[in-house]
Amino acid sequence: MMSVLKINGGKRLSGEVSVHGAKNSALPVLAATLAAGGKCEIHNCPRLSDVEAAGAILSYLGCRTGWSDGVFSVDSSDVSRCEIPDELMREMRSSIAFLGAMLTRCECVKLSMPGGCELGPRPIDLHIDALGRMGARVEERDGCIIFRRGGRLRGCRVPLSFPSVGATENIMTAASTAKGTTVITNAAREPEISDLADFLNSCGARIGGAGGSTVVIEGVERLHGCIHSVIPDRIEAATYMAAAAITGGSVLLKNVIAEHVMPVVPSFEEMGCVISFCGSDIKIEAPQRLHAVRYIRTMPYPGFPTDAQAIVMACTCRADGSSVFAETIFDSRFRHTAELARMGARIKTDGRIAVVEGVSRLCGAPVAATDLRGAAALVTAGLAAEGTTTVSQLRHLDRGYQDIETALAGLGADIKRTDG
């Protein structure tokens, strides 16, 4: 029996909620533990199905892994395999994150092609080009992609044509033990890039400029293990802000880095919310009825994050007025709109543009999650809908949210997980 979330909407949320470690930091950091060649302790690591999938890949490759008191340990002293089979690749879309780290340990790495996903095709050309420049020879055969290097990878200039998060991470990790210096230009500037650089530097790497557009990596002979604590999840924070906003609530978020959340703050303010910051806390107080946002365009950091698009869109469904969204990062990231429409939302999409005409009431309905952030959008809308919303296909939600129903129930939501 597949479980579902049952939400009786209309409860105003209030109280405190603590944000977990960031999924999008934990995954590349876990992959990079492979490059460390020793024992790493990852603190503040969220317990998510994607993290379990990363752990399964590390074990398959020969690492010793385990949880203890919320700390995920990886001992990568011995690596016994250099390929990731199809079943494990499919478990986690971001398994391509292992490529750079595997190349630091293996002369020949074989991955099954990551293929498409729920956000449209996910090309890896930028990863392949960059590693090619560093001296890896790439070959595609039988649905697999094989990377070979003779000797160490070579540091070089890597100009990225687009600031890809995953490519920047793979190059940084691979370049950590390359011969000579690598300079990435037009690098992604997401906070998760800086977190990975901090992790690698704690392992002995020499990376400068992470978080900016030019990242310089001076290759070292080898890395070692370390203790690292993952940064808070800015998208989970945005999700709780949306939950507070759509219910006219007042919520204090604990364990947040204000600067990382800043790209979504103007949108919540435009909706009429009052947001205040104090150390690692953010307080959000929402009006009874939200205002529309004029125009949200997803952009690489520090622009509005594509991962918050669906969640903020859910808020605008019940706002006063019309809101426009332009999705510039992914091709098909509006699949949640059809499900929101089942709840009475009025949304028109055309390619990468969505226009939301706010309605005064949403109605509870059975809806199915289509992807991770789309799932969070349905939960958000369900919190404000009249009657019962049943969200199915929770495997999408569980990839990226730890105990979301417990957190929301703690804020006063009527939400529970039951067997379908």
Quote the least distance from Cβ 162 to ligand UD1, whole Å: 5
Cα(234)–Cα(335) distance, rounded to whole angstroms?
Answer: 22
Cα(39)–Cα(225) distance, rounded to whole angstroms?
Answer: 5
Q: Which residues bind ligand UD1 (CB under 6 A)?
A: 24, 27, 94, 122-127, 162, 164-167, 188, 192, 306-307, 329-330
Considering beta carbons, is residue 223 or 310 the nearer one to ligand UD1? 310
- Please indicate whether residue 117 is annotated as part of the active site: yes
| Token pair 């990790």: residue | 173
Considering beta carbons, is residue 49 or 247 the nearer one to ligand UD1? 49
C-alpha 253: how far from chain center: 19
The one catalytic residue among 63, 108, 117, 317: 117
β-bridge mates for residue 185, sequence order: 159
Q: Which two tokens stand for residue 419?
A: 């067997």
Q: Which residues are annotated as catalytic?
A: 117
